[in-house]
Structure 1
Amino acid sequence: MQNQDIARIRRFFRAVTTEVGALETSFLGKGRPLGVARVLHAVGHYGGDVAGLRRELNLDKAILSRILKGLEDEGLLTLAPDPEDARRRVAHLTAQGHAEWQDYDRLSNVQAETLVSRSKAQEALLNAMDLIASTFAKDRVTLVECDPRDEAAVWCLGQYYAELERRFERGFDVNLSRDPEAADMIAPKGAFFVAMSDGVALGCVGLKGWGDGQAEIKRLWVSEAARGLGLATRLMERCDAAARDLGIKVLRLDTNSALPEAARLYEKLGWVEIERFNDDPYPDLFFEKWLD
């Protein structure tokens, strides 16, 4: 990497720390530094398991303990042994702590809106933020099984359909495809998975069971901000595991040659191209995989 590239990265780091108030002793004017406010937010957002907080925040045990003790002294939270495992500690927000957490959320939303409003290229700015956050949090993306009608799943599917509309020569209408409501992508026939990163959905995939030992992989999508990080492979492998759990022996999928990266991924993961197996008007490539 050239010196000028390193300088660009370090300029970015300095700009971010200044903009978010990382060096201030009173983040958002609430009288606490950013680190303390971040821990308070994490207790409210992720739950109070102290070991889980330490992993989520990547904080040293002693530093986290000191911050939690300070918040407890302020009357913002309580610390107690986990009722199911006395070796673990759990933090719970008090009524005052919950109010402070909500106030931080409100002020943070205002700060975010103010920042983005400065740019004349707001969508490009948001996309750049997504790319950076996805890269930084690559190892903290979780795959969550959910109903394809849940909010995060519907959002992912909407993004997926919009991309197909842009990339297919004649556009895309989900109502012309089979099972537009994804009704067979839930137990006991199938499953649906969404990749989540700190409350933001980054990708999805569906396992559509036929009820006869066969199933299809459907609607694999990964946000442009998270591509190249191995997330599509993780989603596909999670579908393989779910299929095995459901007793499925044969998996099939279809795709369109307008998505060459998809075909390359399937071939890399051991899928074999086969003859057409459905009358869906959009795909022109068909693959199959037998599970052990």
Structure 2
Amino acid sequence: MTTEQVEQVRRFNRTVAERVGVLQDHYLGGARPYGQARLLWQIGDEGTHDIRSVRARLGLDSGYVSRLLRALERDGLVVVETHPHDRRVRTVRLTEAGREERALLDERSDALAASLLDPLGARQRDRLASAMAEVERLLTASMVSLEVLDPDHPDAAYCLRSYAAELQELFDGGFDPANSRLPDPGELRAPGGLFLVARLHGEPVGCAGLKLSAGAPAEIKRVWVSPRVRGLGLARRLLSELEERAARHGSDLVRLDTNKALEAATRLYRSSGYTEVPPFNDEPYAHHWFEKRLTPGTP
């Protein structure tokens, strides 16, 4: 990244903070600051929520969320309780007063959005809305985290189940992992490999495995991205991360195979510098085989 890019992001952040009023003690002319209002809105009126999931969605630490909840609870807007089946889990829900204030918050938020658009001409409004959609997409992409997990971790297991379920729907004749040459998940852990899991707001949204067999090219396996985050460049990011890790491991060649039904994946591999080669395994679900040269030890 460049210094100019960093400065532009900082200017944008300052402009947004000033224009939407997050610096004011009483956000949108209400009775509370932005932090409390945002948490109240996130809790919503759909029922009871696990506080941990709400905290993960907002990216806030537990101490700060606890202080915000105490303020909302003191004002009679939320009820915080212990989960009836797990005393380690706390839940939160809106009271009737909380639902009323949230509805008012929605009305005032709509009015604020309209005030941003109102001074502009029709074409400027379209430009602003389109630019905001693009910024939202890119900021969401920047919030995705990658972590190496054991394949038996619940988030990893969720991704693997989702991967298999999607292949079952897409492949002619379905997909049976028992008939595939996919490595056992246990092979995708050190020292023979690794398993990356992508998370957004604390929820697993993608995965990819790397097999590191001694004396053989590295192999990328089980690449999956949740449909709800496709278009954010996550698959390319997973691919690049595994290539870097393979190179640091000393591999100078990485391979993968794919099914003809996975057209987007095939386009991704070609555009990422992979060359189609003759079959290097007898994977029954593969129609295309690819490889890419790496520079060992790449930092």
Please name the residue that 2:103 is paired with.
Answer: none
Change (3 A) 1:36 1:109: closer
Counterpart of 1:107 in structure 2: which amino acid? V
| Pairing partner for 2:92 from 107, 114, 120 | 107
Displacement, 1:139? 1.5
**Matching residue within 194, 197, 207 for 1:194:** 197
Give the distance between the partners of 1:278 and 1:23, measured in 2 at CA: 65
After superposition, the Cα gap between the structure-2 partners of 1:285 and 1:110, relative to the gap in structure 1 and judged at 3 Å, is farther
Q: Distance between the aligned counterparts of 1:173 and 1:236, measured in 2?
A: 24
Structure 2: segments with no counterpart, 5+ residues: 1-27, 43-50, 72-78, 84-88, 97-135
Structure 1's unaligned 5+ residue stretches are 1-21, 27-31, 47-52, 58-63, 76-98, 112-132
Distance 1:170 1:36, change over 3 A: closer
- 1:174-215 CA distance string (max 9 Å, x none): 111124522221112211101101111111000011121521
Match of 2:223 among 211, 217, 220: 220
Q: 1:235 to 1:33 in 2, by over 3 A?
A: same
Q: How does 1:207-246 map to 2 (within 5 A)?
A: 207-246=210-249
Distance 1:71 1:151, change over 3 A: closer
Residues 244-292 of structure 1 deviation map (CA, whole Å, 9 limit, x = unaligned):
1211121110001111111100000000000011111110100001101
Q: TM-score, normalised by structure 2?
A: 0.58
Length, aligned pairs only? 205
Report the secondary structure of 1:240's partner residue.
Answer: helix
Mapped to 1, the partners of 2:94 and 2:258 lie a distance apart of: 40
Q: Which residue of 1 aligns with 2:281?
A: 278
- Aligned-pair CA distance for 1:135: 7.3
Q: 1:283 to 1:251 in 2, by over 3 A?
A: same
The 1-side partners of 2:190 and 2:95 are apart by 41
> 1:35 Cα shift?
4.2
Return the alpha-carbon distance in structure 2 between the equivalents of residues 285 and 272 of structure 1.
Answer: 10
SS at match of 1:156: helix
TM-score after normalising by structure 1: 0.59
Seq. identity, %: 36
- What does residue 148 of structure 2 align with? 145
* Match among 253, 257, 268 for residue 254 of structure 1: 257
Contact 2:207/2:224 (<8 A) preserved:
yes
